[in-house]
Amino acid sequence: MNRIALLAATALVFIPTTGQIAVADKFYEGRSIDFIIGGNPGAGYDAYARMLMRHLGRHIEGSPTFVARNMPGAGGSIASAWLANVAPRDGSTIGAIYPGAIVNPLLQPDRKFNYDPVKFHYLGSADATVSVCATYHTSPVKTYEDARRINAIIGGSPGAPAEYAFLHQRAGGLKFNIVPGYKGTTDILLAMERGEVDGFCGISWSSLNTQRPDWIRDGKFNYIAHDSVEPDAELTKLGAPNSLDLIKDPLDRAAAELIFSQKVFGRPYVAPPGTPENRVAILRSAFTATMKDAAFLAEAKKARLIIVPTPGARMEELIGRAYGAPKEVVARATQLIAQ
């Protein structure tokens, strides 16, 4: 069974069969819910969140409306800190944050984070992502081995695109000249098209399918590698090897595996710490029902957005496991993604 099929099967074990949860709470009648999106408008995380909010209200008693508020910056940490410290704690606000915002407080101990990821209430994740390291078709760097011999200019932005480029530079010995100043994935892809950079790392495969399906169709990417705990069948078929198979040092491999483990919860949605348990239950039930909603799945298919859900309880288990990793592995992971 390939990685996606296995994750989907695992996720279904945890998804309840009911739609609206049977909790006597009229809180959402006639209300709107603020949906804080930790990414830029038009990017992959924004596309997923806005699609989710178009369907989520149907599965909440009272059918509340949703209002999107983009709050990009610092790899999702700005939105995460706002959700933890400023947002109402009554169930009227939820957020779409980055996986990096969940694990970075673990992997960047010298940086101050104004929130504790363990204290969020996790509603679920819409996709178990795989990230890609790729160059534009005009680049002389076309394979991982090429990147070990030939210099390549790699565009980076806060979060995974910069961090994963440094990881491959350090653990894989790739000759990357990393330019980390781009705002997001859209800007990096435009820079590739203009010839400013050769390529990128750390952009999710689902985002590429959303933002550049024509480039995928027309063969405009050289797939250097893909990042996930288990090999992805589709990307392997396209010629992108799994990064863990290319990293030779055992400690580096264990550290990279810790970093890649966040891919299982690639599109995470949270409620602020302190949100009442019954409203967390309502929001979780609505999320899991939406993941099976025919209209939602039809829209996702049309938009080329991959849906491999992970329930909130499973996310909390995985996050707890990551925060319990051996100190030497955490320390090396920290070194690999440092900028």
The whole-number pLDDT of residue 9 equals 40
Distance from C-alpha of 45 to C-alpha of 336, rounded to nearest angstrom: 25
Span 3-128+266-337: which CATH code? 3.40.190.150
Report, as ranges of residue numbers, the positions in the chain whose pLDDT lies below 70. Answer: 1-24
The whole-number pLDDT of residue 262 equals 86
Token pair 């994750």: residue: 7
Q: Is residue 118 within 8 Å of 317, Cβ to Cβ?
A: no
Fold agreement (3-128+266-337, 131-260):
yes
Relative to beta strand 121-125, strand 268-271 is antiparallel
* Alpha carbon 270 to its chain's center: 13
The whole-number pLDDT of residue 43 equals 84
The whole-number pLDDT of residue 12 equals 38
The whole-number pLDDT of residue 83 equals 98
75-90: buried (b, 16+ CB within 10 Å) or exposed (e) per residue?
bbbbbbbbbbeebebe
| Residue 67 DSSP one-character state | E
State in words which class domain 131-260 has.
Answer: alpha beta
Indicate the domain borders of the chain.
3-128+266-337, 131-260
